[in-house]
Amino acid sequence: MDGGVCAGFHIFVSIQEIALENRKIIKLFKLTAELLELHDANPFKVRGYANAIAALELVEEPLSVKTQAELESIAGVGKGIAAKIVEINATGSFEELDQMLAATPPGVVEMLSIKGIGPKKVRLIWKELGTETLEELLDACEQDKLSKIKGFGAKTQETVKQALLFTQQNRGKLLYAEAESAAEELLQSIKSVFPDAKVEVAGDVRRRLEIVESLQFVVSTDSPATAHEKLNQLNIVEQDVRKSGPVVWRGQHRVSNLPLEVYFASDDCFANELLKRSASQAHLGQVFAAGKCIMSVIREGNHTSEEDIYASAGMAFIVPELREGTNELQLAMENKLPKLLELSDLKGILHNHSTYSDGAHTLEQMATFCRDMGYQYMGISDHSKTAAYAGGLREGDVLRQQKEIDELNQKLAPFKIFKGIESDILGDGSLDYEEDILKTFDFIVASIHSNLNMDEQKATARLITAIENPYTTMLGHPTGRLLLRREGYPINHKMVIDACAANNVIIEINANPWRLDLDWRHVQYALEKGVMISINPDAHHTSGYDDMKYGVLVGRKGGLTKEMTFNAKSAEEVEKYFRERKERIK
């Protein structure tokens, strides 16, 4: 079997596209279920949508091309849901959802996305407080009105307030995964009106930042005035004339609602402009020799390419994701830039969930899908018993799953399934199984999922206690953050990484686009301390494997190499590592 994923890349791309399209449909049904609950509809109707969502999450073929009869044949999808899918495919929505949205203030719909309160509590806020916008809700929190409603209290009020402030701070921003696809579609649109020009994505997207605040492009043209006119032909963009200038078009991308900047440059200046718009200010302004910085090299004259600019500065080419103003210029001067990890370097996928806990697919489905993508192995790490909300495994479930893994390993050989668990880190830092169960696993991902309201000292101590447990193989999503949704608990990253180094514990970069945790800003320190990194998708569905690429991008921003990536090891190397680590515990 091929050691990487190149052989299965065409499968990866097509499955990713299918998953994205299907997710859009599922997202509309999830919103419908929430709105029904918000409007106190018949619980059986809400449950019908929940059942349909669960059924649709298992479908791996595109829903967009199925006939109504084919949709009705899917177990769990009735005639009514099938008709709604057909309607979505035709119009982008369906009548029942449109009617409920029309009957619900937009601000109340926004409240449904606040972490920590569900539709029933949103209904109380709306009906009892008469609050219809996020701004009004924040004001109610600040005036201590929310705590007076039955079922809330001071603690919930403070949680809601912090969630609102976090939302307010992040309004108008997108996750990289969402902005990347928006930028790619817009790139093609811009190319359509500039067919003979050089057009490149720049800015946050080109630097692979986890949160994107604006879209930027560079276009080659000798006639900026005409270029402005051409851009305005696109109905998906709206110009802000006051903010625009002779050589820059500024406005809004109507699809993503992100601010948009398009810079115009002649062919001769294109490389200069592209580099200026694809690097942080710290990178451009950092002095590397005798008062020189990259910006001064750019000003010295036009260059044929970005590579030429760095060569003129006497250094190796620096890829956009590293242009953050840390130590990349010094490394480039010394020709010591790391050879960054590639997606094709990965040989296996660890930290995955199945129907044993809260996953959408069976253990065998997760394994065969992983194998068919070209990987050598998969690690299963369903939720542990404390995570009852996620169907966490009791001791008997663990042994039953491990028996099935033994059978599947015979059936699927040479593909290998490693026996793991995502063990909850309890309040005192202990793991939630006794030693007789812990020792049955090949590896253990230790993660925090509960009691997230901690100060830095408590959170750090809790993590370090778990790291010092001899059965902990890997630290999962270290801060528990959900980008643009929930701030992570504060931790002392250096102390946590030092503990991992001292206890030979791997740290994951959770590749889920909402997490991307360990943050890339701390990867370099982990590497300096000799801590291995594992790119993990935390996949609860076969489509979750697609997220591996986002984990790789985060690793690359932190300077991650193949050599320091745990799941770039072969199945044999991983098996040997797990075995020897367990032997040292005895």
520 Cβ contact partners less than 8 Å away, ≥ 6 residues apart: 210, 554, 555, 557, 558
Q: What is the pLDDT of residue 9?
A: 34
Q: Per CATH, which fold does 174-333 belong to?
A: Beta Polymerase; domain 2 (3.30.460)
Q: Where in the chain is the domain with CATH 3.20.20.140?
A: 343-585
- The whole-angstrom separation of Cα 484 and Cα 501 is 30
Q: In angstroms, what CA-CA distances link 382 with 297, 442, 494, 510, 579?
A: 53, 13, 28, 15, 20
Taking alpha carbons only, the member of 542, 522, 532 closest to residue 569 is: 532
Q: Where in the chain is the domain with CATH 3.30.460.10?
A: 174-333
Taking alpha carbons only, the member of 469, 478, 573 closest to residue 523 is: 478
pLDDT averaged over 10-residue windows placed end to end, the chain, 586 residues: 38 47 87 94 90 86 87 88 91 91 91 85 91 89 87 86 82 92 96 96 98 97 95 95 96 94 97 98 93 94 95 96 96 96 97 93 96 97 92 95 98 98 97 95 96 94 98 97 90 98 98 96 98 97 94 98 98 98 88
Q: What is the pLDDT of residue 368?
A: 97
- The whole-angstrom separation of Cα 261 and Cα 66 is 39
- The whole-angstrom separation of Cα 189 and Cα 247 is 19
Q: Where in the chain is the domain with CATH 1.10.150.110?
A: 1-104
Q: In angstroms, what CA-CA distances link 154 with 142, 144, 161, 193, 453?
A: 11, 8, 10, 56, 14
Q: Per CATH, which fold does 1-104 belong to?
A: DNA polymerase; domain 1 (1.10.150)
Helix (H) or strand (E) holding 364: helix 363-372
Q: Indicate left, alpha or beta for 89 from its phi (over 0: left) and psi (-120 to 50: alpha).
A: alpha
Q: Taking the model in full, what pTM does it have?
A: 0.81
Q: Which CATH architecture has domain 343-585?
A: Alpha-Beta Barrel (3.20)
Q: At what angle are helices 456-467 and 493-503 packed, to 10 degrees? A: 10
Cis peptide before 414 (omega within 30 of 0): yes
Q: Token pair of 158, please? A: 């403070």
- The whole-angstrom separation of Cα 84 and Cα 426 is 43
Q: In angstroms, what CA-CA distances link 193 with 160, 232, 234?
A: 46, 10, 8
- The whole-angstrom separation of Cα 498 and Cα 510 is 19
